[in-house]
């Protein structure tokens, strides 16, 4: 499975109004905390791969918009945990990459498994994320701790469908008066670590 994604910086409230005006529907609001790992056998920054453990919990409709306020209010037992591997980017026009993800019952145990195998935590990214649907594309409004507000448009496809999926994602951004040419291909982790865009 390939995830085809474009991400741009955008002001949150204005984008939310544009989403409503475009006929998008908001499906849920979550808090996500992503811990990224370094591998003992290769440098993920050089190979453009990522391995993360994501803790996620649903928020109510009245959850505050800032990510820091949300993070402080959560209790540790409220999280679902998933492990994700992201392969290198496969094109120069979007953030398209092969991705594998699965749920785990206990995030602390998964972290211990990684530690025993020599993987070490590199950094943690925390965000409040709103999921919207617009013309078959998932659009998220992300309030990211330490970085600000971003809009991601994405969809999944097989290898043969990447080009058409990329066009649909770009069209969704244009419907929100956002320019796909302004996309940021650097991950939130890379932005936090000051890594240059690829």
User: What positions carry a catalytic annotation?
Assistant: 36
How many Cα atoms are found within 13 Å in the side-chain-facing hemisphere of 29? 13
Closest CA to 93 of 189, 183, 188: 183
161: CB partners within 8 A, 6+ apart: 2
Residue burial 160-189, b: 16+ Cβ < 10 Å; e: rest: eebeebbebbbebbebbebebeebbbbbbb
**Maximum Cα–Cα distance across the chain:** 50
Which positions ≥6 away from 106 have C-beta within 8 Å? Answer: 81
For residue 74, CA distances in Å to 1, 63, 126 come to 32, 11, 12
């Amino acid at each position: 499975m390939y995830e085809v994604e474009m991400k741009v910086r955008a002001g949150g409230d204005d984008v939310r109004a544009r989403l409503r005006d475009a006929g998008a529907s908001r499906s849920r609001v979550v808090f996500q905390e992503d811990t990224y790992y370094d591998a003992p056998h290769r440098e993920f920054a050089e190979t453009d791969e990522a391995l993360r453990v994501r803790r996620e919990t649903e928020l109510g409709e009245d959850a505050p918009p800032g990510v820091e306020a949300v993070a402080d209010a959560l209790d540790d037992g409220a999280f679902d945990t998933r492990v994700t591997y992201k392969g290198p980017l496969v094109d120069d026009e979007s953030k398209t990459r092969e991705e594998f993800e699965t749920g785990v019952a206990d995030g602390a145990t998964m972290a211990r498994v990684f530690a025993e195998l020599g993987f070490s935590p590199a950094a943690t990214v925390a965000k409040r994320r709103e999921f919207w649907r617009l013309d078959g594309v998932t659009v998220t409004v992300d309030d990211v701790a330490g970085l600000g507000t971003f809009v991601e448009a994405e969809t999944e496809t097989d290898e043969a469908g990447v080009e058409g999926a990329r066009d649909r994602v770009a069209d969704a951004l244009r419907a929100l008066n956002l320019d796909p040419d302004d996309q940021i291909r650097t991950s939130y982790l890379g932005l936090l670590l000051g890594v240059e865009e690829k």
